[in-house]
């Protein structure tokens, strides 16, 4: 089967100016394929999160170019970018970010309600399914602020999955999880890439997690030092 590129960067670079000018990312060019489970590793401070923010379309101040589905993202206006994020990209951040006043269920539903493709009842049903997948269906009606760190992280993952986005980006998605739940998340990621042909780009410090993924890109000092081998080919 031929591999289709879903996300591509061309010579992406970024500077920070505060306190002194320095280049966090330098000439980053890589591709991510449809259905690929891609991990991003590197030492702390190597620029992984910074790169992920650019890939997520939220950070627009960079040089080089970004393409999603062969559509050029660089230079698009903010409203268009918001719509692209809503439809095509799901996020799980380094620190679990939920809306504290809403129930877990509502948190998961929000991106789908925004998309407006399905009725309220249908969205609710889908949200329950995602929560069940992640083993936190029983917490659905609790306010998000009353959950443990690991539970919140799983709600955030459920939310990232709700719109069936083409790409799911994660910044240390298992940082707060025990080995059992890490395994659950890992299996879900495997499942959605293989069964639903969605793409995962996950930053991780967990070597086992990286090793078990399809491919691992390694960053050091803002440069790609290894594009990794596609383990699915062997």
Ligand X SMILES: Nc1ncnc2c1ncn2[C@@H]1O[C@H](COP(=O)(O)OP(=O)(O)OP(=O)(O)O)[C@@H](O)[C@H]1O
**Binder to other proteins among 5, 13, 49, 63 (CB under 8 A)?**
49
**Any contact of residue 128 with other proteins (CB under 8 A)?**
no
**Any contact of residue 86 with Mg ion (CB under 5 A)?**
no
Which residues from 151-180 bind other proteins, rule CB under 8 A?
159
- Which partner from the list other proteins, ligand X, Mg ion, none does 197 bind, CB cut-off 5 to 8 Å by kind? none
Instruction: Give pairs for 95-101: CB < 8 Å, separation 24+.
Output: 96/149, 96/152, 96/153, 96/155, 96/156, 96/176, 97/156, 98/144, 98/145, 98/152, 98/155, 98/156, 98/159, 99/144, 100/143, 100/144, 100/145, 101/143, 101/144, 101/145
Upper half-sphere CA count for residue 115 (Cβ side, 13 Å): 24
Reported in sequence order, the residue ranges of 108-205 that DSSP labels E, i.e. its strands, are 167-171, 199-203
**Any contact of residue 115 with other proteins (CB under 8 A)?**
yes
Sign of the dihedral defined by the CA atoms of residues 182, 188, 191, 197, in that order: negative
Taking a C-beta distance cutoff of 8 angstroms, is the pair 232, 214 a contact?
yes
Rounded least distance, CB 135 to ligand X, Å: 26
Cα gap 151→139, rounded to integer Å: 9
**Any contact of residue 5 with other proteins (CB under 8 A)?**
no
Which residues from 78-107 bind ligand X, rule CB under 6 A?
none
Rounded least distance, CB 71 to ligand X, Å: 25
Structure tokens at 55: 């890939």
Contacts of 125 (CB under 8 A, 6+ apart): none
**Any contact of residue 62 with other proteins (CB under 8 A)?**
no
Which residues from 23-82 bind ligand X, rule CB under 6 A?
24, 42, 44-50
Tell me which H or E stretch contains 132: helix 120-133
**Binder to other proteins among 22, 43, 59, 225 (CB under 8 A)?**
59
Site string for Mg ion, 4-43 (x = CB under 5 A): ----------------------------------------
- Which partner from the list ligand X, other proteins, Mg ion, none does 47 bind, CB cut-off 5 to 8 Å by kind? ligand X
Residues that bind other proteins (CB under 8 A): 49, 53, 56, 58-59, 78-79, 82-87, 91, 93-95, 97-102, 106, 110-111, 113-116, 119-120, 159
């Amino acid at each position: 089967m031929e591999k289709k590129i879903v996300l591509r960067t061309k010579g992406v670079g970024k500077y920070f100016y505060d306190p002194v000018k320095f280049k966090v990312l330098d000439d980053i060019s890589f591709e991510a394929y449809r259905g690929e489970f891609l991990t991003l590793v590197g030492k702390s401070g190597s620029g992984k999160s910074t790169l992920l923010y650019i890939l997520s379309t939220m950070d627009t101040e960079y040089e080089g170019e970004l393409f999603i589905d062969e559509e050029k993202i660089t230079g698009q206006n903010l409203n268009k970018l918001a719509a692209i994020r809503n439809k095509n990209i799901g996020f799980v951040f380094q620190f679990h970010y939920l809306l504290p006043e809403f129930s877990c269920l509502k948190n998961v539903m929000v991106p789908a309600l925004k998309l407006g493709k399905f009725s309220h009842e249908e969205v609710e049903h889908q949200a329950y399914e995602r929560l069940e997948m992640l083993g936190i269906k029983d917490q659905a009606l609790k306010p998000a602020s009353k959950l443990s760190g690991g539970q919140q992280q799983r709600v955030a993952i459920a939310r990232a999955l709700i719109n069936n986005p083409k790409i799911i980006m994660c910044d240390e998605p298992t940082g707060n999880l025990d080995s059992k739940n890490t395994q659950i998340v890992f299996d879900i990621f495997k499942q959605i890439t293989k069964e639903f042909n969605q793409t995962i780009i996950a930053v991780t410090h967990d070597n086992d997690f990286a090793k078990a993924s399809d491919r691992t890109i390694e960053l050091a000092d803002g440069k790609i030092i290894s594009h990794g081998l596609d383990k699915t080919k062997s």
